[in-house]
Chains A and B, each alone.
Chain A
Amino acid sequence: MKGLLLKDWYMLKAYCRTYLLIAFIFFGVAFFSEDNLMFLFYPCILCGMIPINLLAYDESSHWQSCFLTLPYTRKQYVSSKYMIGLVIQLIITVLSGIIFSIQMISNGTFVLSEVLALILLVYMVSSLNAALCMPLIFRFGAEKGRIAFLLMFAIIGAAGFIMAQIYQDLMSSQIVIPAIPGILAFILLAGIYGASWLLAQKLFEKKDL
């Protein structure tokens, strides 16, 4: 699988430099901004899309047929994209954590639990984005997959709105909801990403290319 990862690395260098530039600009703005969460999350969403864009480039260059002529399996191909996704999520999460920490330290407001909460949020944004989108792209292809993702995003948005309403109702009725411990949330997110990985392998296994 090393060859697949090296190929993705070359493609990252060629196509995704702009993403990194935008990410750094937004991180810079986040560093000097008072209300910086939006500026932190935007590059996370953007970078979470990188494996999806790599898939779209593969599709347009017919690489998805080409790799099957090489000693690789479909599972390895899917795994290479999820691994690239993981590395990007890790980098973006660590960077966000560092920037947020420096900012808090320089303001004299450093609280470790807040930094950890933010790291978890950043990881959630970048990881969930890829986890939800990738199986659809593997199943339907880049073009249809993006439409399916937007539909799903709308459904999730609607579900989130309903959940928020329920939450508000619960709050107003004074019912206490226990906070989910960070570590549990992290495991849950990792589980979702892993399930997405397996699902994508399953969906891609029999796909005509």
Chain B
Amino acid sequence: MNAIEIKDLCKTYGDFTLDHLNLTLPGGCIMGLVGENGAGKSTTIRLMMQMIQKDEGTITLLGKNVDEMDPLTKEDIGVVMDEVGFPLCLKTEEIGKIMQMTFHNWDQKRYEQLIHQFHIPDNRQFKDFSRGMKMKAGIAVALSHHAKLLILDEATSGLDPVVRDEVLDILNEFTRDENHSILISSHIVSDLEKCCDYIAFLHHGKLILCEEKDVLLASYGIVNLTPAQLAELPSASILHQKNTGYGIQALVKRDAIPDHISISPITIEELFVQLAKEYN
């Protein structure tokens, strides 16, 4: 079963349009949602959670259409939004008690273990937490009710590299169960590269590509050529190019490049940045 199926999703507000988004996250996988500010990542997640109303399209989470979804289905979904959203006067213990009354599957021991592991103070109110601590508290809640699907909106931003690494380890551990899936949006593409099976790239409300990470890494590369050498390449194989002062550096599709040209591997971050520049 697919964890997420989005078909022809549209939403317009102001001058932004999410344009016929189609996205599928297979069960047991982690998908990274990449895009610049205002690309539509948070809008997509907010539509999935019905925080905003869609204009068109269908969203299916864990096999259930969100328009007809029983709130109990949300027991199986752990969500951390950009603004975590817990009341500012609460302490972690109180948040735990509220969640205990909210989720049938609430695992208080797991919650306390994560609070301890993330070094979240239990004697301070949420308003006194740093952004990183707020995120960690949100992640602790999302991981403490035995969810099958995690949806994380910029959940690793604001965390220091050590904690980010810990969070990524926890996410990897989470998907060891083949029924567990994660959709994670982030600006920190290197984080996504570490943990994701699929990468979806949104640009100005349109899905530019959605592919397995390994396929992307195997399909694209960087070449450093002279302008004359570059002119010999099929134009369809060149996705982006820039003059470095020493020659032309180009993002290319590997399968259309002659064997004698040396192609350097590309990271997902480089691919994202170069594609974004090209589309801009």
Min CB distance A79 to B, Å, is 13
What is the 8 Å Cβ interface bit string for chain B, positions 78-91, against chain A (1 contact, 0 not)?
A: 01010111111110
Residue among A6, A58, A62, A68 making CB contact with B98, cutoff 8 Å: A6
- Min CB distance B63 to A, Å, is 17
Q: A6-B98, A7-B98 are in contact. Are A209 and B51 (CB under 8 A)?
A: yes
Q: What's the least CB distance linking A162 to chain B, in Å?
A: 40
Question: Considering only CB atoms, which chain B residue lies closest to A15 in the complex?
Answer: B89
Q: Is the CB of B81 within 8 A of A62?
A: yes
Interface residues of B in 45-85 (CB under 8 A from A): 46, 49-53, 71-75, 77, 79, 81, 83-85
CB distance from B3 to the nearest CB of A (A): 16
- Residue numbers in B under 8 Å from A206 (CB-CB): 53
Q: Is A63 on the interface with B (CB-CB < 8 A)? A: yes
**Are B85 and A63 neighbours in the complex by a CB distance under 8 Å?**
yes
A residues engaging B (CB < 8 A)? 2-3, 6-7, 10-11, 14-15, 57-58, 60-73, 76, 206, 208-209
Give the contact-size bracket for chain B: 20 to 34
14 more CB-based (< 8 A) A-B contacts, given A3-B98, A65-B81: A3-B102, A10-B98, A11-B89, A15-B89, A57-B87, A60-B88, A62-B81, A63-B86, A64-B85, A66-B86, A69-B79, A72-B74, A76-B71, A206-B53
Chain A interface mostly: helix
Q: Return the CB mask of B22-64 against A: 1 if under 8 Å, else 0.
A: 0000000000000000000000001001111100000000000
Q: For the complex, is B94 an interface residue (Cβ under 8 Å from A)?
A: yes
Number of A-B contacts (CB under 8 A): 85
Seen from chain B, the residues whose Cβ lies within 8 Å of a Cβ on chain A are: 13, 46, 49-53, 71-75, 77, 79, 81, 83-90, 94, 97-103, 126, 151
Cα distance A83–B87 when bound, in Å?
Answer: 19
Report the bound CA distance from A63 to B103 in whole Å.
17
- A61-B85, A63-B85 as given contacts; A3 in contact with B71, CB under 8 Å: no
Cα–Cα, bound, A114→B51 (Å)? 49
**Do B99 and A69 touch across chains, with their CB atoms under 8 A apart?**
no
The CA of A7 and the CA of B86, in the complex, are separated in Å by 10
Residues of B within 8 A of A60 (CB): 88
